[in-house]
A and B are shown apart, each in its own frame.
Chain A
Amino acid sequence: MGRRPLIHRSPMPGLGLSMGITLTMLSIVVLLPIGALLLRGAVFGLDGIWDTVNRERVWKALFLSFRLSLFAAVFNLVFGVLLAWVLVRYRFPGRRLLDAAVDLPFALPTAVAGIALTALYAPNGVFGALAKEVGWKIAYSQWGIFLALVFVGLPFVTRTVQPVVEEIEREVEEASATLGAGRLHTMAHVILPMLTPAALTGFALSLARAVGEYGSVIFIAGNIPLLTEIAPLLIVIRLEEFKYDEAAAIGIAMLAISFAMLLAINLIQIWSRRRIGHV
């Protein structure tokens, strides 16, 4: 048995052209710039990166980004599954409008979302004034960041879970009911397990998106160092101070977090395929 060739011979035309365009553009736009970041980090050295990240302002920003992203993703997980269920299973006036609205966070520029949410939830905004009555400060606090991250991550879980809900066979639910299970029991033990893999994929996507989010957050956050300053903002600040090494160090730390999550997404998908057999 010989080694598998790198590229199988094929009569199909356009190999050189399509491969050339693909690899050239991928390199110029994505790979070389990321390489430049990693190179900068390598020259700066692990010690330099560690010294940068190991400062209170930096690790607090990283921790804040990660923690609030996690909370937002958990919220989106629950709300997203509920939304997917409601949109697929129920018929009610305005359903299509709600369905279309789920995609808005994908289409609306983040800066627009940022100033709109701030206008609503600032102390003089419509919702902000209501919250102020009960002593709840939303904009310019961590609640505001949470809200913005919920907004940008909203569509992921719904859009990954919806097709799975559509494919659930009613027979499974009928069987469960025939065997004497109440609706709540069927939900918890039959339906939710089927939705779990897709929901977790959506959760991870929403989390990854939130960790790197910048535009919608900086307007509503207040950006107070140690309290409401997110990691991407700190990179921008370091760049404005021409501290490229430190910016690169924080960027590499964020990349590491993102890759860990990408890995998690892949592991979840492998696990879900083994467990469910399809999806």
Chain B
Amino acid sequence: MSDISPPHFRAATEEPPLARWALIGIAALGLAVLVFAPLIVVFAEALAKGWLAAVKSLGNRDALSAIRLTLTIAAIAVPLNAAFGIAAAWFITKFDFRGKAFLITLIDLPFSVSPVVAGLCIVLMFGANSWMGGWLVANGYPIVFALPGIALATMFVTFPFVARELIPVMIEQGRAEEEAALTLGASGWRIFRTVTLPNIRWALLYGVLLCNARAMGEFGAVAVVSGKIRGQTATMPITIEMMYNEYLSVAAFSLAAVLTALALITLLLKALLEHRHAGDLAAARRH
């Protein structure tokens, strides 16, 4: 087929080239200043005194214990929230009941609560001066200023991630496949494992990925409940704050660079999932 349009023809649904390049320029400049520059500066500051200083600061006792604590918290919070997300999505999409919209609103609630207020809520619920917290402390199970409180605060702020990804996907897929398996006599657990899970696995992975990124990076909620005890309740973001305030710039930015690398890996995997499994995630994306 020959091209019949004149050489410099511009479709009526396109902007003039000058306007187009101006808009692209603004977009690129804006992202360069707002996103790329901070990204670069993290690594530049971490390496300000050379690789050796950066790596050495990561071997510091406080840094190591912070990394260990952050991994522990994520290992607790993410699987629990994933289990919740699966259960909530199953309950919401496989059954009909009154108040469903309200339940979804409640699940989404943590997204509209400030992380600091979330931490405050945990302190008021489980702190030593509340009746429940007082009882728990008296029996040797402190929640606030200890690991369980940090895990709870992290779970609060990351609570909706998995459920939010799964619910739209499972609504779109409907119940027919599960009902067919049911008539064939499959048990509930077997239906979930062999019918539902293969359909939702990419959406589940996507939700877990986002949940994990937020769990490892959470600062506001954790800052309130952690008590910031060095070597015990200081997560990576909290340790970054403490080092930064002590003018340990290289140490703070080295630890920050580790979290930034994690964020970049998360984005890479996210882009990969969106590219490879667009269909399986489509329902969630349209939301």
Residues of A within 8 A of B (CB): 4-8, 10-15, 17-19, 21-22, 25-26, 29-37, 39-40, 79, 82-83, 85-87, 90, 92, 94, 98, 100-113, 115-117, 119-120, 125-127, 147, 150-151, 154, 163, 170, 173-174, 177-178, 183, 186, 208, 211-215, 219, 232-233, 235-236, 239, 244, 247-248, 251, 254-255, 258-259, 261-262
Contacts and interface: CB of A to CB of B under 8 A. Distances in A.
A21 B23 CA distance: 49
Contact of B219 (A8, A214, A233, A235): A214
B43 to A, nearest CB: 10
Given A104-B267, A127-B37, A262-B112, A8 B83 contact: no
Which secondary structure characterizes the binding site on chain B? Answer: helix
B117 A212 contact: yes
Contact of B16 (A25, A87, A110, A183): A183
Interface string B108-147: 0111111111101111111101100000000000000000
B263 A108 contact: yes
A230 B151 CA distance: 26
B232 to A, nearest CB: 18
Contacts of B87: 17-18, 21-22, 25
Contacts of B123: 239, 244
29 contacts: A7-B97, A14-B188, A18-B90, A18-B91, A26-B88, A26-B159, A30-B156, A33-B121, A33-B124, A34-B109, A82-B26, A102-B31, A104-B267, A107-B267, A108-B259, A108-B260, A109-B218, A110-B220, A111-B240, A111-B256, A113-B38, A116-B256, A150-B34, A151-B38, A183-B15, A214-B115, A214-B223, A215-B219, A235-B224
B178 interface: yes
Given A14-B90, A15-B91, A86 B24 contact: yes
B42 interface: yes
B205 interface: no
B124 A212 contact: no
A255 B113 contact: yes
B152 interface: yes
B2 interface: no
Contact of A244 (B45, B114, B129): B129
A29 to B, nearest CB: 5
Nearest to A15: B95
A240 B224 CA distance: 9
A107 B270 CA distance: 10
B246 interface: no
A186 B117 CA distance: 45
A82 B24 CA distance: 9
Contacts of B24: 86, 90, 92
Contacts of A32: 125
A212 B34 contact: no
B51 interface: no
Interface residues of B, number: 100
B267 A7 contact: no
Contacts of B13: 170, 173-174, 177, 186
Nearest 10 CB-CB pairings of A with B: A212-B114, A109-B217, A13-B188, A177-B12, A33-B121, A215-B219, A214-B220, A21-B87, A116-B38, A36-B125
Contacts of B124: 33, 36-37, 39-40, 244, 248
A126 B236 CA distance: 26
Given A33-B125, A37-B117, A173-B12, A85 B23 contact: yes
Given A33-B126, A107-B213, A212-B112, 11 more contacts: A12-B179, A18-B87, A21-B91, A29-B155, A30-B156, A36-B121, A37-B121, A83-B31, A103-B270, A183-B12, A259-B112
